[in-house]
Amino acid sequence: MTVRPIRIFGDPVLRTEADPVTAFDARLRELVADLEDTVRVPGRAGVAAPQIGVSLRVFSYNVAGQVGHLVNPVLSDFEGEQDDEEGCLSLPGLAYPTKRFMSVTARGFDAYGEPLVIHGTGFLARALQHETDHLDGTLYIDTLTGDARRQALRELRRVSPAPGR
């Protein structure tokens, strides 16, 4: 079992668009295994490859006891809206109400290159959107507006060390 360390806010890999996976080989399957081991840590709902320092379009999820992964995800069929508290392993200790679609379909591939479709509602839909955002270099705090955004940015400045410290 390989639980990989999580990259924290300030690491440039979190703000870089991840590269598409082009080789469905043993190295990819090892990455997927590491992602799934890492997301199995209690309290974790998802881990994207950039969060463990790998700039590839892959993530794992652990929702309601279901652990899975998706390679090169594309989201579609957005419906409804939810506005619940959201946090992120790369922004430890922070959580803010974040608008997401209530229902979404994620299409991509498994670790062997076989097509995979995941229909998510509620918390699974939130996790699919959150992890796909990571692959685009986007953090959930980027979607916040108004007072919530100002509060999140203040809190980030408070808890994040200044460069050079």
Instruction: Kindly name the residue from 85, 86, 114, 131 that is annotated as catalytic.
Output: 131
Q: Look at residue 66 and give its three-state secondary structure.
A: strand
Of 23, 39, 30, the C-alpha closest to 113 is: 23
10 Å Cβ neighbour count for 14?
A: 22
Of 103, 114, 124, the C-alpha closest to 32 is: 114
10 Å Cβ neighbour count for 149?
A: 14
Q: Is 79 a catalytic residue?
A: no
- Has 130 been labeled as part of a binding site? yes
Q: Look at residue 59 and give its three-state secondary structure.
A: strand
Residues 145, 36: Cα–Cα separation, whole Å: 32
Of 17, 48, 14, the C-alpha closest to 34 is: 48
- E strand or H helix at 82: strand 82-87
- Has 119 been labeled as part of a binding site? no
- Encoded amino acid at 151, one letter: Q
Which residue numbers belong to the known binding site for Fe cation?
88, 130, 134
Catalytic residues: 131
